Amino acid sequence: MYGYLNMRAKLQLFLFLWGPLLVLAGVCVVTLDKLEPRRRRGLFPLFVVMLGLAAVLFGGAAVLGRYRLAWRTWVQEGMSATLWVIGLTTGTMTVLYGRSWLLEWRRGWGRAVVSLSGLCLASAMLVGTVLGGAWCLGPGETVGAYQGRRVVQGAWTWMETSYDIYEYHGPLVRGRDPIAWGEGPLLDDKG
């Protein structure tokens, strides 16, 4: 998935997205351990759902890629938007709940960890919004027939519209590589 990035871009991606997410996850796990049970019941399910959804979205994309498949655009956009909202909620709750016990834990260190957690949340949400938005900008898709077989037509719009035809593999998945492309619609019929 990241094979086309150079080393500098991978380092920046780690510093501004994956690193902050790892710090927030660590603070969340420690905060869950320190929280009273009532508040833990709110944060723990969000954290688990966020991890599960991220595993399905990104892990699923990696597994599908090995079989030359890809998520359909609506699935990818829906899971990404849901993950963004759950991630923002989980991160905000982590910083707020973490602040309650971190400030009591070694005054100077606690403030530093709270500040770092807030910066990590801001960095992860900003970079995640930009990169996630770009990753989700898939084609507008239409299912139809092309040369007698069922396909997904993707309409890519950037200055001009171009059309790609992908193999249909169900409502959630399509072929990764286009089997035909053109500057006009290619479907024989929609349906």
Q: For the segment 85-125, what is each residue's pLDDT rounded down to a tens digit?
A: 999 999 999 988 888 877 777 667 878 888 889 999 999 99
Residue 7 banded pLDDT, cuts 50, 70, 90: confident
Give residue-wise pLDDT tens across range 126-172: 988 888 777 777 678 999 999 999 999 998 887 788 999 999 999 99
Return the pLDDT at 159: 78
Return the pLDDT at 191: 57
Residue 127 in contact with residue 108, Cβ under 8 Å?
A: no
Would the pLDDT of 1 be above 60? no
Residue 131 in contact with residue 18, Cβ under 8 Å?
A: no
Nearest to 101 by CA among 92, 109, 110: 110
Residue 189 in contact with residue 145, Cβ under 8 Å?
A: yes
Residue 132 φ then ψ, to 5°:
-65, -40
Question: pTM higher than 0.85 for the full model?
Answer: no
Return the pLDDT at 17: 85
If you average pLDDT over residues 55-78, what whole number do you get?
94
